[in-house]
Each structure stands twice: as structure tokens, then as C-alpha cells.
Amino acid sequence: MSTAKTPASLLVVPILLWCAPSWAQDAPAAQPADRPELSAENQNRLKAEAFALDLSVPEAPAFVALGITPDKITRPTSPRELGAALLNGVDDQGNLQTGVAIDFVPYLALGGDDLTLALYRQNDFGPIGMRRIASRFAVSAATSKGTDSDDKSVRLALGFRLTPWDEGDARANTTIDGCVVKQHDAIIDRLKASGPFLHAVVMRKIGDPTLMWNTLADQLKEHGPDWVKDEYKEAYEAEKKEYEKQHQDDVPPPVVPPFKIPFTNREIEGWEAATAKCFEDAKRENWNAAAWDLGIAPTWVSESSGFNDLGSAGGTVWSSLSLNLPGDDWWGLRSLPDVVTADGRREPANPFAHETDVYTFARQHFQLLVHTRYRWDTRVDDPNSAGNMKILQDDVLIGGRIRAGISRLAISAEAAWVHENPQGLPGRDGQRYAVSGEVKITDSIWLQVSAGSSDNLDSGNDGFVIGSLRYGLSTESPYDTWQQVR
Amino acid sequence: MANEKIALLRKNGGVPTVKVTIGQAQWGSFGVYVTTKDGLGWEVERKGHSWDSVEAEVDLELSPTQLDGRDVWIDMVITPLVVGDPYAATIEVRQEGQAVSGGQLPPYKGVTDRHNFMLSALVRLLTK
């Protein structure tokens, strides 16, 4: 069945008409006059995210829980580094140090050195691989200081993030193997062709086997091939002389090959670009892969900055479930046969090479996301107090998004509902909706049109009102944005 | 050579193997080469990838006596999921399933700074 391709303009125009400001001027339905409005924090949050609601689980929940963007993040990769990072968080007197920001994956830090990609892909219970799940469990920790110079308190947050299900896990994507191996084979063959004599000279000259070839590549880039030849010529000739002296009695006498740089800078750059493209292509193909992310970040505060003085300061828990339609394997349907390449290798068929029916088309081009966030014991301004009194509040956000991407056209529609439960006060809620469309004008320019509406987010708001219409140009493809943030 | 490790093979210990483990769930490929007697070429060439099998172990095809005094080079290319991710590679020279004396090289660990991180290891084989 052929797929009908709707001209992008026909889809953009209805969006523009629906969002036209003149329509927005018409009177909406009235709301009860005494309806409590949301806290300033949630109002600002939803307004700021009007056209791109943040419906994702943060990469480092601890940082988000404290509202910080650390300049320097420690990512320990071994037990020793982890211990050092933790010790740096507390001084000799047991006082918490501010500015700590740690983010790591315990399984990879403590046992990842023996984890090959093949082992990573092994399943333990049916389709479940415990090593994959463990590798997708991250821990973050952060501290921050009080709000002003008179505030000596220190806040601490721990964050835990887990992705128990990820159909777009790049490490489990065997298509990437077939792409990466081309560069790997080319590099390995080049290094092999340079021969053991050159290997030995380069290693002796640079001194570190983990640096030798990368250093040579960097020198080629920085100084050019002539400089590199001159730099290594002396060492090579000296080694050659020594070798010939040792083997002067051999019959026939061995012939030391002439010095030759194993690769050019252009080749290095080509391999780098080709490998990067392997991952970019995979991300783009899997932008709407199904996944489930979970996160939790409890926080504490110590008024005296002492570790023993820590008291609970609330926390946040997130859940994001992104869905698309399941593939042939899930339905038990015939999967695409392997393809045979020109050099006789068998490779998995690219399931996105063509769209054979409406179901496949929908599966490849749509994504539904459902997000929930619950925060407990957040300190907010007391609306009944004239001063700076705070009260505790719990709130929940439930949001959803549907995305559709069809090559030159990307559409996103989203909605969020927030309910607050402040201490001693009646509950209150608000909603926000947004829709956006992006049309590809050229390879590097996208036209963006978006509109949002809100309910109970402004003082004196009387109900559902079209908030605003925006349009503009962007050089970033929505698929690049979508693949970074579910 | 300062970075050359020496592995002692047992004369009657069977054909030695080299086990290459590229960890941190990264994409890795390797070539294992045994030099010719004059040290100017390769006599044995073996290759592998970190995604092909759970354990990447290649045999060196020659007997311990034939390998006495030869060098084994292991060239590796590691591609991280994200440039800046850590890498880890371990190499073992083994006979009959066990690492030989001196055959367990110190692990190569660090942080990748490019999409194709290249590194090599060198082991001199001596037979006792």
C-alpha cells in the first residue's frame, strides 16, 4: 500500500488558523471566581516550558532536585575514584562541602572493565538482560549552599535513575556494529601494514602504548606529515642501524622497510566522521523507540552544614513512558531476511529501509509519551502570610505528548495537568496545552510554528484562553532535539 | 623496551592463546600478530571484535618452542558510545585455559578522546 505524502503546507495552515490570535480574542467559558491559583513556582515552570514541556526524567536527578547546573561533575570510573569523590564531600569536622556533583553508573564503575559488548547483549531471563539493566542504573549526588550569604545551611540530594526498558539502547543495536566495523577494519589493517619495526619505533619514541597511535594522529593533524617524518626519521634510522648491526651475519641479510606513516590526517578525519555518523544515523532511526525511565531524588538540609544535622527536605519522583507500535518480532511475524553485502558478508536488514504498510509507517513515525512527577514536602510561600513564611506542599504533574515525524515535517502536541496540595490549604490545579509544527525549508533551516494555552496559570484568568502564537526559524532539526530528550 | 611485558610459556603447555577483553560495553576490534623470527614482519595474524563472542580468545597457531623469543603485538581500536566515556582493555596470554606467568598484562584504562581510540600492547614470549 503506497503511503500518501501530505504536502507539509496543508498541515501547517490548519495549525496556524486554529492558533490565530483573532480567534483567541473571542470570549472563553467563565470559571468560578474563587478558584485558587497554582503556586508561583508551578506557574512559572509551566509557563517557561510553554512550547516544550519538560516531560523527561532528568539525566542526573540530584542536580535537578537542587536546581543546580554544576560546572564540574565528577564521574568516578573505579571504586578508588568513587571513594575519593565521597570523601571530598565531607571535611575533617564532618561538615558537608558545597559544590559537590557526582554522577556515575555503579555497575560500570565497579565491574564494567570485564563487560564486553557481547556480554552486555546477553539475555538472562527471556528478553531481559540484567547487565543491560544494571548498566542503565545511574546514581547522582550533589550539595548546594543556602540561598544567601547569611544562610549557612547546606542542601544534599541523592538521585537514582533507572531505565528498565529501552528499545532504543544503542549498545544493543547490532546495526551499529556493521557500520563501525568498516572503520575498525580499515584502521587495524593500516596499523598491521605498518609492520612491527614501525610499531616498536613509535612505542619507544612516545613511550606509552595507549598514546602511541593517538599521539601520532594528533601530531599529523597539528604539524603535518613532513614534520612527523622529520620527527621520527632520526629515531627510525638509529633503530635501523642498531638492528642491522645485530643481524649483520644473517644470510640473507634482513631488509628493514623504509619509514612510512601508517595513515594520513585526512584518513583519520574520515574515519572519525564515518564513525560519528554511525551513531547519529542510529539515533535518528530510533528517535521514537519505546522506553521507560524512572527517577527519584530525595533531598536533605543541614542548617549547621554538619552531616549529623541533616533533616529531610522533601524529594521528587519521576516516571516517563514513551511508546510506539511494536515491531514484527513482538507480533511473531516474519522478520526481514538478512542482506548479503558485496563482499559476501551477511548483515541484518535495515528495518527502516522501506515502509511496507500503514502499520509500519505509523510505527516508524509516531511516539506517545506519558509522564508523571510527584514532589513531596516542597517549601513554597505561604499565601496567607505577609512575610517570608513557608509552608510544605505536595504536588503531582501528569503530562502527555504525541509526536509525529515524517521526514520534512514534525508535529508535537502536549498537555500537562498539575495538582497541588499545600499544607493546611485547599488543593488547586492548573493545565497547559501546546502544539507545534516544524517544516524543513532547507537542509539546515526549519520553520517552527507553535501555540500554547493555559488554564489557571494567571491571576484573574477566567478559563481556557489561547495563550500565544510563536513562529521562527531554527537550524536544529526536531529529530536531533527529540533524540536527546524523550 | 620499557613497555614490553614478558610472558613465560611452558614448553609442554600446548598452543598458547591470547585473550583480549574490551570492556565498558564499548565497540572494540583487535588484531593479534606474532612477529617473524627476524622481527620485520608478521607470521600469525588473528582478529576479533568485542561484540562477536562473550570471550575473545585467539590461538597463536605456533608451538611454545616456535614462539620462543617472538613478539606479540595487539592492536586495538575502541569506539565509545559517547566520546569521553571510559575505556578498559585487558590482555592475557594463556596456555590450557590459564594465564601464564607474566601473561596477565596490567589493564589499559582511561578516557576516550575520539571516536576511534587506538592503542597497542606488546608482549615478548619466552619459553622455559
| CA pair distance A386, A216, nearest whole angstrom | 68
Residue A288 to residue A483: CA distance in whole angstroms: 8
pLDDT tens digits for range A240-269:
998 988 888 888 888 888 888 999 999 999
Distances (CA, A) of B56 to A90, A127, A320, A342, B42: 43, 24, 38, 27, 20
Across the interface, do B41 and A116 touch by the CB < 8 Å criterion? no
Which of A171, A187, A217 lies closest to B25 in CB terms? A171
Q: What is the pLDDT of residue A437?
A: 84
Residues contacting residue A259 through CB under 8 Å, at least 6 positions apart: A198, A201, A229, A232, A233, A236
Which of B55, B108, B116 minimises the CB distance to A272? B116
Per-residue pLDDT at A173: 92
pLDDT category at B31 given cuts 50, 70, 90 is very high
CA-CA distance, A273 to A239, in Å (whole number)? 35
Asked if the model's pLDDT at residue A464 lies above 70, the reply is no
Q: Tell if the CB–CB gap between A116 and B51 is shorter than 8 Å.
A: yes
Instruction: Give me the residue label for grid cell 505561604.
Output: A382
Report the distance separating Cα A287 and Cα A366, nearest Å: 10
Per-residue model confidence as pLDDT tens digits over A303-333: 887 778 888 999 999 999 999 876 666 655 5
For testing contact with chain A, the best of B108, B116, B119, B125 (most A CBs within 10 A)? B116
- A373 or A303, which is more confident? A373
What is the pLDDT averaged over residues A17-24? 32
Q: Which residue of B has its CA nearest to A204?
A: B1
> What number is the ipTM of this complex?
0.95
Residue pointed to by grid coordinates 562477536: B52
The C-alpha atoms of residue B41 and residue A193 are separated, in whole angstroms, by 9
The pLDDT confidence band at residue A125, using thresholds 50, 70 and 90, is confident
Residue with cell 506542599: A393
Query: Which residue of B42, B88, B116 is in closest CB contact with A271?
Result: B116
Phi-psi region of B32 (alpha: psi -120 to 50; beta: other; left: phi over 0): beta
**Chain A nearest C-alpha distance from B12 (Å):** 28
| Residue of B120 and A340 predicted with greater confidence | B120
In chain B, residues with a C-beta closer than 8 Å to the C-beta of A255 are 40
Residue A162 near residue A136 (C-beta atoms within 8 A): yes
Q: Between chains, do B27 and A184 touch, taking CB under 8 Å as contact?
A: yes
pLDDT at B45 over 50: yes
| The C-alpha cell that represents A244 in the structure block | 642491522
User: Rounded mean pLDDT of A373-393?
Assistant: 84
Pair A161, A105: CB distance under 8 Å: no
As a whole number of angstroms, the distance between CA A122 and CA A115 comes to: 11
Number of neighbouring beta carbons within 10 Å of residue A226: 8
Nearest CA of chain B to the CA of A235: how many Å?
Answer: 14
For B119, nearest residue in chain A (alpha carbons): A210
| H, E, C per residue of A229-241 | HHHHHHHHHHHHH
B3, B22, B79 member nearest A209 (Cβ): B3
Q: Does the global pTM surpass 0.90?
A: no
- B114/A214 Cβ within 8 A: yes
pLDDT score at A478 = 62
Percentage of the residues of chain A whose pLDDT score is greater than 90: 35
- The pLDDT score that the predictor gives to residue A340 is 82
CB spacing of A118 vs B108 below 8 angstroms: no
In this predicted structure, what is the pLDDT of residue A192?
A: 94
Sign, CA torsion B90/B91/B96/B99: negative
Dihedral (C-alpha) B46, B50, B55, B60: value to the nearest 10 degrees? 10
| Closest by CA position to A76, among listed A18, A140, A20 | A140
Residues A360-379 have a mean pLDDT of: 86
CA angle (A444 as vertex; A286, A279 as ends), nearest 5: 30
Which of B53, B77, B111 has the CB atom closest to A118's CB atom? B53
Q: Quote the distance between the C-alpha of residue A182 and its chain's center.
A: 26
Q: What is the mean pLDDT of chain B?
A: 92
Q: Which residues are bridge partners to A300 per DSSP?
A: A156, A312
Sign of the dihedral defined by the CA atoms of residues A36, A41, A42, A45, in that order:
positive
pLDDT at residue number A331: 57
Q: Which of B47, B57, B83, B115 to mutate to test the interface with A (most CBs of A within 10 A)?
A: B115
Sort out which chain B residues have CB atoms less than 8 A from A275's CB and list them. Answer: 79, 115-116
Q: Quick: pLDDT tens for A391-421.
A: 899 999 999 999 887 767 788 898 999 999 9
Q: Give the mutation candidate from B21, B26, B27 for the A interface (greatest A CB count, under 10 A).
A: B27
* Partners of A331 in the β-ladder: none
Facing residue for B23 by CB, picked from A115, A255, A256? A115
pLDDT of A33 above 60: no
Per-residue pLDDT, averaged over A68-92, amounts to 85
- Judge whether B112 and B78 are in contact, CB under 8 Å: yes
pLDDT at A28 over 50: no
Segment B84-112, tens digit of pLDDT: 999 999 999 999 999 999 999 988 999 99
DSSP output for A187-209? HHHHHHHHHHHHHHHHHHHH--T
- Across the interface, do B25 and A180 touch by the CB < 8 Å criterion? no
Interface test with A, best of B35, B104, B118 (most A CBs within 10 A): B118
> Closest Cα to residue A296, out of A409, A184, A161, A170?
A161
Minimal Cβ distance to B51: which of A117, A199, A256: A117
B109 to A77: CB separation less than 8 angstroms, yes or no: yes
Q: How far apart are the first and last CA of chain B?
A: 21
Q: H helices of A207-317, where? A: 212-223, 225-246, 265-285
Which positions 38-97 of B are in contact with A (Cβ < 8 Å)?
38-42, 45, 47, 49-56, 71, 73, 75, 77, 79, 81, 86, 88, 90
CB contact under 8 A, A184 and B77: yes
- Cα A416 to Cα A132, A156, A398, A465, distances in angstroms: 32, 29, 6, 15
Kindly report the average pLDDT of chain A as a whole number.
79
Residue B35 · residue B41 · CB < 8 Å: yes
Give B128 to chain A, closest Cα distance, Å: 24
**Residue A209 and residue B122: Cβ atoms within 8 Å?**
yes
Decide if A131 contacts A116 (C-beta within 8 A).
no
Q: What is the pLDDT of residue A295?
A: 97
Provide CB contacts within 8 A for A225, sequence distance 6+: A261, A264, A265
- pLDDT, residue A473, reads 66
Q: Output phi, psi for A33, to 5 deg.
A: -65, -30
Q: Alpha-carbon distance B34 to A30, whole Å?
A: 84
| Dihedral angle over CA of A356, A357, A359, A365, nearest 10 | 60
